[in-house]
Amino acid sequence: MIQIIQVLILGLALGGVYALMSSGMTLIFGVMRIVNLAHAAFIIMAAYISFWLFKVWRVDPIVSMAVTMPVMFLVGVLYYRVLFASRADNPRFTDITVLVTFASALVIEGVLSYLFTGIYRSTSPVYATRPFLIGPFFVPQSQVYATLISIALIVSLWLFLQYTRVGNAIRATMQNRNSAQVVGVNVALVSMLSFGIGLAMAGAAGSLLSFIFTFFPSKHVAWIGMLMSLVVLGGMGSLMGAMLSSFLLAVIASYVSFYWGPTWAPITFYLALFLILLFRPQGLLGKKMDG
């Protein structure tokens, strides 16, 4: 029994980070119908920024979010402006984005390999290896911090979308782009901002990942598969869906990893993707799309 609960705790402690990783990707898809296959590569890019700040100036990776988030926001705004803004009216826009972002992921991987080589990296603040001991259970401090910060960020994003003027404009654009234009929302600007916010979330995720996982430039290949299944399972464009599926799959993967071994854990994500596409392609909280 203790074991079962212990595994549950470990799963939940990872769920928040997965949710943060997928939140930006689902937002970007929801607002612009961009399938951002470079999302994991951007996350790793941010992880390297945190790594570099840690190595050179001993900046705590959590503190370095103050750098990665704004930097990635700007990267997102520029990336959208240069590659997507002029194509937004193309009827095959979403198809185009798949190719463009896939190519971008490869470019990012190449540049990171050149700058940082392919060596496994991670940041090592003091809490990276310390656990919290609560009764018979143990939880790595790093995962607790990462998940709590992730949840705080996602809740802030949700509040921002729900209660601010710009947030409402983003939600309106997600729900009906034409209608948003009709009421005077500048959808081009909203799209650019949303891409920035999506990548700022990726930036935060990168900083947090840097002390809970080891990473190397080509690791994004493994993570994008996981992210795709989280986003699709939640319902593409649904923030709540992405959160739900992240915690759900993190816990399931945690059990799979415990009973069958860590090698089998990734199977959870692909199997979930397979099953959801078979039985409920719009995802848990997604809507059927008409266009």
Positions that interact with other proteins (CB under 8 A): 89, 165, 168-169, 171-172, 175-176, 178-186, 287
As given in the structure block, the two tokens for residue 163 are 């209660």
C-alpha 156/C-alpha 136 separation (Å) is 33
Query: What is the spatial distance between Cα 179 and Cα 223, in angstroms, rounded to a whole number?
Result: 35
Quote the DSSP letter at residue 94: H
Report the residue number, 169 or 273, with the smaller CB distance to other proteins: 169
Nearer to other proteins, 280 or 287 (CB): 287
Query: Given its phi and psi angles, is residue 176 left (phi above 0), alpha (psi -120 to 50 degrees) or beta?
Result: beta
Query: Which tokens go with 183?
Result: 């009421």
Q: Minimum CB separation from other proteins for residue 26, in Å?
A: 15
Please choose, from the candidates 196, 207, 273, the residue with its C-alpha nearest in 3D space to the C-alpha of residue 47.
207
**H or E segment at 6?**
helix 2-32
Q: Which is nearer to other proteins, 190 or 205 (CB)?
A: 190
| CB closer to other proteins out of 31 and 205 | 31
Are residues 193 and 166 in contact, defined by beta-carbon separation less than 8 angstroms? yes
Minimal distance, residue 94 CB to other proteins, in Å: 17
Nearer to other proteins, 135 or 184 (CB): 184
What is the chain's length? 291
Q: How far apart are CA 153 and CA 290, in angstroms?
A: 31
In whole angstroms, the minimum distance from the beta carbon of 180 to other proteins comes to 8
How does DSSP classify residue 121?
B
* The pair of three-digit structure tokens given for residue 149, joined into one six-digit string: 């910060």
Nearer of residues 18 and 84 to other proteins, judged by Cβ? 84
**C-alpha span between 158 and 196 (Å, rounded):** 16
Which residue, 74 or 240, is less far from other proteins as judged by CB? 240
Residue found by looking up tokens 């185009």 in the block: 96
Minimum distance from residue 175 beta carbon to other proteins (Å): 4
Q: How far is the CB of 46 from other proteins (least distance, A)?
A: 31
CA distance 111 to 114: 5
User: Nearest distance from residue 168's CB to other proteins, in Å?
Assistant: 7
Q: Which is nearer to other proteins, 184 or 261 (CB)?
A: 184
CB of 181 to other proteins, least distance (A): 5
Measured CA to CA, the distance from residue 145 to residue 94 in angstroms comes to 36
